[in-house]
Amino acid sequence: MTALLQWSRWIDALNRAIGKITLWLVLITTLISAGNAIVRKAFDASSNALLEIQWYLFAAVFLLGAGYALLNNAHVRIDFIASRLSARTRNWIDVGGIVLALIPFCLLSIYLSWPMFMMAYASGEMSSNAGGLIRWPVYLLIPTGFALLLLQALSELVKRLAFLQGAGPDPLAHHEGHAEPSAKSDDAATAPGER
């Protein structure tokens, strides 16, 4: 379990770094969008390439940031039900969801999106809009994003199994903001009967 937890920490660090990059992509997308709107209104000019790069960056934020969202437990949960369950039950539910739904979904998405990327790359597919961009980079975001989400799903699975075996803190313990929970604060938050 120690080696798996070390591997899990490496995946967490990878998705944390990529998540921070996606935060900057939000700013870049906003600036491009605002600049394009200003140029369109002030000079009655527009660029399909600028419009498409906005869409590409917007796609990158969601696809590349999915693993980061999972790392920070920022995905949708039914908290009013989950809060009534024990820590062990919540983690067992997550184990089931990760194994039965999330991992198969990521694998299927990678399997189906990879040929689409390869065909676009091989053909040099371009946007049908005048002055548009090449398409393969945005197609590559799909399998890449799901691969990062799959890695984070495996990391989360390891952390939940470690908790259930008494070898780690509760990864679902609530914490303030985006700060990473420390082992000490998680152990204090877990009732002795739930370990």
Give the tens place of pLDDT for each residue, 6-27.
999 999 999 999 999 999 999 9
Q: How confident is the model at residue 174 (pLDDT cuts 50, 70, 90)?
A: low
- The rounded percent of the chain whose pLDDT value lies above 70 is 87
Is 117 a residue whose pLDDT tops 80? yes
List beta partners, residue 126. 134
Is 111 a residue whose pLDDT tops 70? yes
What pLDDT does residue 78 have? 65
Task: Write the DSSP string, the chain.
Answer: -HHHHHHHHHHHHHHHHHHHHHHHHHHHHHHHHHHHHHHHHHHS---HHHHHHHHHHHHHHHHHTHHHHHHTT-S---HHHHTTS-HHHHHHHHHHHIIIIIHHHHHHHHHHHHHHHHHHHHHT-B-SSTT--BSHHHHHHHHHHHHHHHHHHHHHHHHHHHHHTTSS--TT---STTPPPPHHHHHHHS-GGG-
Global pTM reads: 0.80
Max distance between CA atoms of the chain, in angstroms, equals 68
Q: How confident is the model at residue 128 (pLDDT cuts 50, 70, 90)?
A: confident
What pLDDT does residue 103 have? 97
Contacts of 48 (CB under 8 A, 6+ apart): 127, 129, 130, 131, 132
Q: How confident is the model at residue 151 (pLDDT cuts 50, 70, 90)?
A: very high
